Amino acid sequence: MKPAWYEDESFWKETASFQFSERAWLAAKEQVEAIIKLLGLLPGMRVLDMPCGPGRHALEFARRGFQVTGVDLNPSFIAQAKERAEKEGLSAEFLREDMRKFRRENFYDLGLNLFTSLGYFESPAEDKRVLENFFVSLRPGGFVLVDVRGKETLARDFRPKDWQEQEGTLLLEEREIIESWSRIRSRWIVIKDAERKEFILTLRLYSGVELRTLLEEVGFEEVKLYGDFSGNPYGPEARRLVAVGRKP
């Protein structure tokens, strides 16, 4: 059976320069600083970044004195994150695990699901399972923060076609809203050295109210919606959909 797109290591390898560019790594510093301020976090707190990718945010939290666990299904990302942590002498744990399965009961103060990483799976129940794992893994009073591209912002800025170029590699993207605005299908074409590779992605989409309802169904309370990590409103000018919930 062909692996799902998010399980395909070649997809992440071929698109890494676009998804995890130097600019994206630099942006993670500001994003982590904003999250710390938004939630009133203190060094020494335990943070679960899931999925963590190559460790952009997890490593930045570790640099600031937090106890960090990064979880990702991609072995290459976990290896990269470990290597960076070792080079910098950072104390951080990186595990190759499926976020639909990983949980560590009553252990963390903060759970992070960033960069539109909720919605990968075919079944909505699998998304809910991911949030349930965060809920179980948090200590009472702990926070979960989910960052996605909300339906409202996507509808406002939707572009059916786009392209980017980096270091001689060209990325072409075609987007299609499917299943009555419940999902988006994207075709990514990577052209490098006259070689062409194509990938098909599908993501489940959430509106603000849908994501808040899902978090409440899992058990989170005081769910708040923001338009960015700085806590600006989720309104007409929002750039992202950032949902924060607290475990009672």
pLDDT tier at 168 (50, 70, 90 boundaries)? confident
pLDDT at residue 71, as a whole number: 98
Residue 122 identity: E
What mean pLDDT comes out for the span 205-217? 98
Per-residue model confidence as pLDDT tens digits over 121-141: 999 999 999 999 999 999 999
Higher-confidence residue of 2 and 60: namely 60
209 token code pair? 């109210």
Give the model's pLDDT for residue 243.
Answer: 98
**Per-residue pLDDT, 10:** 94
* Cβ-Cβ contacts under 8 Å for 107 (sequence gap 6 or more): 46, 48, 137, 138, 139
pLDDT at site 56: 97
Q: How confident is the model at residue 244 (pLDDT cuts 50, 70, 90)?
A: very high
pLDDT for residue 2:
79
Q: How many CB atoms lie within 10 A of CB 224?
A: 13
- Distance in angstroms (rounded) separating the CA atoms of residues 39 and 200: 36
Give the model's confidence band at 166: pLDDT under 50 very low, under 70 low, under 90 confident, else very high: confident
Query: What tokens appear for 124 in the block?
Result: 């909505």
Q: Name the token pair of 14.
A: 């071929």
> Does the pLDDT value for residue 167 go beyond 90?
no
Task: Check if the beta carbon of residue 213 is closer than 8 Å to that of residue 121.
Answer: no
Give the residues across from 48 on adjacent strands: 69, 111
Model pLDDT, residue 1: 73
The pLDDT of residue 97 is 98
Q: Residue 120 has which token pair?
A: 């990968």
What SS3 string covers the chain? CCCCHHHCHHHHHHHHHHHCCHHHHHHHHHHHHHHHHHHCCCCCCEEEECCCCCCHHHHHHHHCCCEEEEEECCHHHHHHHHHHHHHHCCCEEEEECCCCCCCCCCCEEEEEECCCCCCCCCCHHHHHHHHHHHHHHEEEEEEEEEEECCHHHHHHHCCCEEEEEECCEEEEEEEEEECCCCEEEEEEEEEECCEEEEEEEEEECCCHHHHHHHHHHHCCEEEEEECCCCCCECCCCCCCEEEEEECC
Across the range 154-183, mean pLDDT stands at 95
Length of the chain: 248
| pLDDT, tens only, 106-120 | 999 999 999 999 999
**Can you tell me the distance from the alpha carbon of 151 to that of 4, in angstroms, rounded to the nearest whole number?**
23
Quote the pLDDT of residue 213.
Answer: 98
The dihedral formed by the CA atoms of 125, 181, 232 and 144, expressed in degrees to the nearest 10: 10
**Span 22-37, pLDDT tens digits:** 999 999 999 999 999 9
Over 90: is that where the pLDDT of 202 sits?
yes
Percent of the chain's residues with pLDDT above 70: 100
pLDDT band (50, 70, 90) for residue 3: confident
